[in-house]
Structure formats: C-alpha cells, structure tokens
Chain A
Amino acid sequence: MRDALLLAAAVLAATAGMGWLALAMDVHWEQVRGADPLAPSTARLLRALGALGLAASLALCLAVDHASMASLVWVMALAAAALAVAFTLTWRPRWLGPLVAWRGLARSVK
C-alpha cells in the first residue's frame, strides 16, 4: 500500500513537473492563462519548478524499488506524464490552471 501511494505520488510529481515545463512555453501558457502575459521571470520559475517536479518523481521512484527498476519506472512515468499533459492541453487546457494557482484566476481566456 505504501509503495502504491509512493508510486502514485511519483506519477503525480512527474505530471506536475511536465505541466510546469509546458507552462513555461508561451503557446501553452496562453492556452491556459489566456491574455495574462508570461513574464520571463515567471517562465524561469516555471522551468525550475518543472525540473524540481521531475527530480522529486525520481526520488519517489527510488524510494520504492531497486535502482535498476526505479530508473525504468521513472523514464516511463515521464513519457506517460508528457502524454497526459499534451492531451490535457489539447482538450482541457484550463485543467492545468491549478499549477499556477498563486496567479489567481485567469483574467480572460479566449
């Protein structure tokens, strides 16, 4: 049970990390935040958060399995997370809003 929870957390961390990395890009930021402009400092912060998310995911994988297995789980979790983020951006971009909750509600979304 503990392992399952840790792995779920690892997948979540990877997804959040990929989400932040996507938000650091102008196109995707606009899909999620509409007219709210993306400042360079925010983009840097988002990239740092993204890297942190992916690193946290690796740490969680290592806490569950032998390193040889954990590395595979992590690489595949990254792929799954990237697909999940990409499809969310395609069909439900607003769902990524909570990743930048500190900016408040988007002022306008086209």
Chain B
Amino acid sequence: MFQNFRLAMTWLHTWFGLALGFVLMVVFFFGALSVFDREIDRWAIPQSRFAPQPMPSFDKVLRPVFESMQPTKESIERMKDKVDGPMPERFDTVRRWGAYTTHRDPVLGLFAGYVVPNAKDPEDGVWGNRTIDPRTGAALPDDRLKVGSRFFYPLHYSLNFHWKNLGTWIVGFAALMMLVALASGVVMHRKIFREFFTFRPRKTTQRSALDLHNMTGVVALPFHFFFAFTGLVIFAGIYFPVSHTQLEPLHELHEKIEAQETGLPHDRAGVAAPLASVDAMVAEAQRRWAAQGMAGEVGFLALQHVGDANGYVSIYRAGTDRIALVGNGIHFKASTGELLREDPPKSAVDGVNEFLTGLHLQHFRHWLLRWFYVLGGLAGCVCIATGFLFFVEKRKKQHARAGSQGARVVDALAVTTVTGMLIAALGILIANRLLPEALPAGWPPRGDLEQYAFWGAWVLAMAHAFWRSAPVAQGRMAPAWREQCWAIATMAVAAVLLNWVTTGDHLLKTLGAGYWPVAGVDLFILTGAALAVVAARKLGRRARVVPAVRIAEAAHA
C-alpha cells in the first residue's frame, strides 16, 4: 500500500493526528489549566478566597458535619433500580466517611458513603458530599461550581461526557493514538537533531508552522510521552475492568485475603460501637511519621464501617514532598483508638505505580514543576494547533484549484478548537462573575448556567469559524482567526475587570496581599489577552500584505 515505512508513518500521523487532534487539544489545554484547578476555584468562588488550611479537628469540627450529611438526590436516583423494594427515607448506616485536602485547599471536601438496605449487590451504595470552611465547619453553598476542579479538570479526562463513560474512552483512545503520533512523528522527522532549535517565522506560513510543530513536539517529547502514558495508567481500571467483570470472584477473594493480611475488617460486625477520639489517633499518627523522619500533615482521613465494632480509622500523610499522592497510612480501631496496622514500605511495583499516577496527578508542593507542567501542556497545544495549520497550508491552494471545500472545513474546525476553545473557557469565567449571587426561583442551578455559557460560547465560536472561513476555499487565510483573537483579548480583559467589580479584588490588592491564587489567575488571563492582541495584529498585517503581493504578481503576469 505504501512505498516505504516512512510514507506509511506519514499517512498514520497525518490522518490520526487530524482526527484526534481536536480531542487532544481539549485534553492538553484543560490539563494545563487543571495544574492550577484549586486556584481557578478560588477565582470562581469568592467566598473561598482565604489561605489554605490544614485538616481540622475531627472531634470538634468534622464529626458534627459528617453526622448531619445525607446522600445526594442524584445518587439515590441512580440507586433506585438496584434495590429490591422501596428506598428508605434516611440513610444511617455509614460505610465510609472521608476528607481529603492538599496544601492548596482553603476549603475542605467531605464525602460519605452509605449502605443501602436490600441492595441487589450489597457492595453498592449511595454517596453524599459537602464542601466546608474548615475553620468553622460552615457549609459552602453547594450550587457554586468549582470551575477548576469540577469542570475544567473532568473536561481534561472525560470531555464532561459521562454517558457510559464514553468521554473517558474517547480521551483514552486519543492518548493511545498520541503515543502512536509521537512515535510516527519521530520516524517522519528527517532532521530531529539538526533542527532541534530551529524556528523560522519569516519563511512561509507552512514552513514556520512545521518548524514550530516539530520544535514543540520534540523538545517536550518526554513530557508528551509520559503524560499520555500515565494518563492511560490512571484509567487502566476503566479501560481494562477485568477485576469487576471476568475476574469478579477472584477480586472478591483478593479483598477478603487482603483484609485477613492487614487485619482491617472487610465487613461490618453488625454490633454497634462508640467512636473514640479521632484527634488522639491523628496525633499518634503524626508522632509516628515524625519518628520515621517524615513529619507531615494529614492529607486523607477516612473512617470505615462508622458506628460498628469493626470500624476503623485510616490516616494518610499528605504527599507534598513526594511524587506519590498520599502515603504512610496508619490505621486505628475506631472504638478504642488501638493501633491496627501501619502500612509497610511500598513494594517496587506499587512504588512505580504510585510514581506514575502521582507524576500525572501532581498534588505535591513544587511551584516550579507545576509551571513547567503548564508549559508542557501549552507546548502540546501549540504542537497540535501548528499541526492543523500545516495540514491546511499544505493543501489549501491545491483544494482551491480543485474547487474542494476540504481545507476550508479543516480550517474552520481548527479555529473552533484553538481560539473557540479559549472563547468558551473565558465564557464560563465571565458567566461565573456576571450571574447574580441568588438566582430567581425556577431557574436552573447557578453552576448549570455557567456550563451552558461555556458550551454556548463554543457553539457561537464554531458558527463564526464556519461563516468566516470562506477565503480558505480560495487559498487565502480565514479572517475568523484574527477576529476570534480580538474576541479573546476583549473577553479576557472583561473577565479580569468583572472579577474586580464583583469582588473588589483587583490586581494591586491581590498582589499587594500576596494572594497568588486570584492574582495568578488574573495575570494568566491578562497574559493571554496580550498574546491574543499580538497574534491578531500579526494576522492583520499578513492579511494586508498578501493581497498586495497578489496584485503585484498579477501586474507582473
């Protein structure tokens, strides 16, 4: 079919790159934003703009909150078909309480899992969650969308398309194909070392696009490779659900054996028991970490089989100075506070797995590395965007002569995914600041409206991209690129101004106070605005020069 291996690789790289580039663009860009998801949450929820807090006292703060929690309506709704008989009004048998925090979280997220009586599968359950101010235990309004950690972050790995996990599958396939694209790209690239540092913006658009495509791809190759690969490792459980399909009995057996080995009960005893002081257990865990030379804060606190004689408390250290997420788990008997188990050092395989997942999920404390990750993600975006440009530039003259619309359609889709995506992201931030604090009765929840603004802005950008791309079919550049750059610049400035007007937090104030989460987001948006202006002006100049050249050419002919 192909004359040689290199041509086969070129075909693979071109067409899979084009088809999945649209998905990968979203994955890369929102992945880069997710590095600062907690900070974007602060920007979007002004009530949460205070300093990060350590895990609060369980006995004084968390316990009353947990005891007042109930499963969410959606969770109960999902469970309805999975029980024999009616659902109970209240859920009082708690399977698990958990609280997770990092060194970047001012607010604390809590979750609770409940046993459902008469469930067809006794392992099934319903879930509740709540976000609190850990200084007081007061609940934050639950219709506020955590734009960073609950919208941009899941968009990064699932496209927020949850039906049958399809979004996660699409992203996984795209990641797999990205590994293929990286390998085939290296095969195609004739001058990988000779042109390592080469970018020639004054040559043709096609040449400079290819320069930038090669450079951002090659220079950040380790980053691209590791993130695609570790992303697949994280979701391996979804892509290869063997333990819950083919190997279900084995999985169950494994859990029981593990429970025997660790001494941590797998099931409830069915005998009620009181809860000893969890604060004392936390103090003991911290004493033990310190004794091992690893003094640290609590990252994850979980209570299993609450109120039962088999209940136990697990305390994990926050992994701020390691790549691995949380670790050094210490487990206590809930009713007495007696030490049940201290997790042994990780085996080599677990260590590698935790390194790979931790590398990607990055909950550690290292601001330079976080910014390097943003850089890597944005380099990936540039690589994909210039890949689109190269595709279009290479073909548009030929398509124009043949009267084909192919290049135009690809160009319009590229505008939609590159500049249109930025317009959508700014759309949700602007909606977040523009919507009133309390919505009139009968309106959808505030967080839902913010998401509609995101998708609405994106659809408008797409319509504009298709409308304003006609010149591509004649072999010229689409004005849509330039116009959307201006839209980005305007919206970015508007978002920062709206943040100032609605919260009073302008840059001088946040910078003066050293409140980096909000100052950083504002500065990042303004940098984006400046780059958009530069890009729009350059495109404008090019659009004016090209017709002049054309007239000159015509005069010579």
Contact = CB atoms under 8 A, between A and B. Distances in A.
Contacts of A69: 321-323, 364, 366, 369
Contacts, number: 73
A94 B379 CA distance: 25
A18 B197 CA distance: 9
A76 B369 contact: yes
B11 interface: no
B321 A86 contact: no
Interface string A53-88: 000000000000110110011011101101101110
A68 B355 contact: yes
A99 interface: no
Interface residues of B, number: 28
Interface stretch (A20-28, A36-44, A102-110): A20-28
Contacts of A72: 323, 359, 369
B200 interface: yes
A7 interface: yes
Interface in B321-377: 321-324, 355, 359, 364, 366, 368-369, 372-373, 375-376
B464 to A, nearest CB: 31
Contacts of A25: 194, 197
7 contacts: A18-B197, A73-B366, A75-B222, A79-B372, A80-B372, A87-B199, A89-B197
Nearest to A87: B199
Given A76-B373, A76-B376, A83-B219, 6 more contacts: A22-B196, A72-B369, A73-B366, A79-B220, A85-B197, A89-B199
Contact of A76 (B196, B322, B364, B372): B372
A86 B223 contact: no
Nearest to A11: B368
A27 B198 contact: yes
Contact of B222 (A28, A79, A90): A79
A77 B200 CA distance: 23
> Closest 10 A-B residue pairs measured CB to CB?
A76-B372, A86-B197, A82-B219, A22-B197, A68-B323, A79-B220, A90-B199, A75-B222, A79-B219, A73-B369
A77 B372 contact: yes
Given A72-B359, A73-B366, A79 B199 contact: no
B364 A79 contact: no
A82 B197 CA distance: 7
A69 B322 CA distance: 7
Contacts of B366: 65, 69, 73
B403 interface: no
B201 interface: yes
B485 interface: no
Interface of B: 194, 196-201, 215-216, 219-220, 222-223, 321-324, 355, 359, 364, 366, 368-369, 372-373, 375-376, 379
B478 to A, nearest CB: 25
Nearest to B194: A25
A4 to B, nearest CB: 8
Interface of A: 7, 11, 18, 22, 25, 27-28, 65-66, 68-69, 72-73, 75-77, 79-80, 82-83, 85-87, 89-90
A75 B475 CA distance: 41
A65 B368 CA distance: 12
Contacts of A83: 215-216, 219, 375, 379
Nearest to B375: A80
Nearest to A88: B197
Contacts of A80: 372, 375
A47 to B, nearest CB: 12
B368 A79 contact: no
Q: Among B322, B359, B366, find the residue whose CB has the most chain A CB atoms closer than 10 A.
A: B366
Contacts of B196: 22, 82, 86
A83 B366 CA distance: 21
Contacts of B197: 18, 22, 25, 28, 82, 85-86, 89
B220 to A, nearest CB: 5
A83 B375 CA distance: 10
A7 B111 CA distance: 38
Contact of B372 (A22, A68, A73, A86): A73
B429 to A, nearest CB: 27
A86 B198 contact: yes
A72 B222 CA distance: 10
A87 B208 CA distance: 13
A6 to B, nearest CB: 11
A51 to B, nearest CB: 14
A18 B215 CA distance: 14
Contacts of A68: 322-324, 355
Nearest to B224: A79
A89 B201 CA distance: 11
Nearest to B196: A82
Contacts of B322: 66, 68-69
B198 A79 contact: no
Contacts of B215: 83, 86
B194 A79 contact: no
Nearest to B369: A73
A80 B376 CA distance: 8
Contacts of B375: 76, 79-80, 83
A44 to B, nearest CB: 16
Contacts of B364: 69
Q: Among B215, B222, B369, find the residue whose CB has the most chain A CB atoms closer than 10 A.
A: B369
Contacts of B201: 90
A98 B197 CA distance: 18
A76 B355 CA distance: 16
A90 B368 contact: no
A72 B220 CA distance: 12
B46 to A, nearest CB: 30
A91 to B, nearest CB: 8
Nearest to B322: A66
